[in-house]
Structure 1
Amino acid sequence: MNITAVHHVAIICSNYEASKKFYTEVLGFQILREVYREERESYKLDLCVGNTYQIELFSFPTPPKRISFPEATGLRHLAFSVSSIEEAVSHLQKHGIQTGSIRIDEITGKRFVFFQDPDGLPLELYEK
């Protein structure tokens, strides 16, 4: 096996328009492709994160809820690198997004903060 990188992260949302707006307008990800799959009653939105990574945003008619808190088994959170935590937090707050307090990683000494997408998916900003 020769894994060289992460290709994409797939997210299923409950409200496609709200999540599309959040990921494109608030977080600023660029749309690569948007497809409506009629047979599944589902949108698939491919988003570019920087120049390397992709997020696939899916919608389905009635997706089941996923337990996220407290510390459930599975994907814990999705983290994005930023150059300035203060600027990123200010940007999120201007868009009405609540964040946790800025914390320091006790192992690396780097600063980070948590927030959530419209479905409560835990997201993190990690200062480079």
Structure 2
Amino acid sequence: MDFLDEILLTGLTVFGHHGVFDFERRDGQEFTIDLRLGLPLKQAAASDDVADTVHYGELADKVAAIVAGEPVDLIETLAQRIADAVLEDARIKTITVTVHKPQAPIEQRFADVAVSIHRAQQERAAWTSA
């Protein structure tokens, strides 16, 4: 039985134009993304070859392009877009995406606002075949 190992990419900060308000889309703000990928890494450890794992530099570029790309109203939607794109790699069995919006337009004093979603490869397979 293969156990799921993890690759974590945390603190990826990208400027984007997401939000419900016009000024958020116009002015933009920084978003911080955390990813937790569940996948077997036994083969990569044995081969010591980057081709047998997820190249986290390429992963960061892919996610950054989504965050910097087409605006959405909700960070929930942004998190789902990121999860969908990451799960295109069939080696990744599970993903947790957290989108932080530390400059959210909230009148009260706060440290951060974040949304986390958890998705699995089998969910994606069911979604795309439906």
Please indicate the TM-score interval, normalised by the length of the shorter structure.
under 0.3
- Greater relative contact order: 1 or 2 (C-alpha under 8 angstroms, separation 6 or more)? 2
TM-score (norm 1): 0.23
Q: Which has the higher helix share?
A: 2
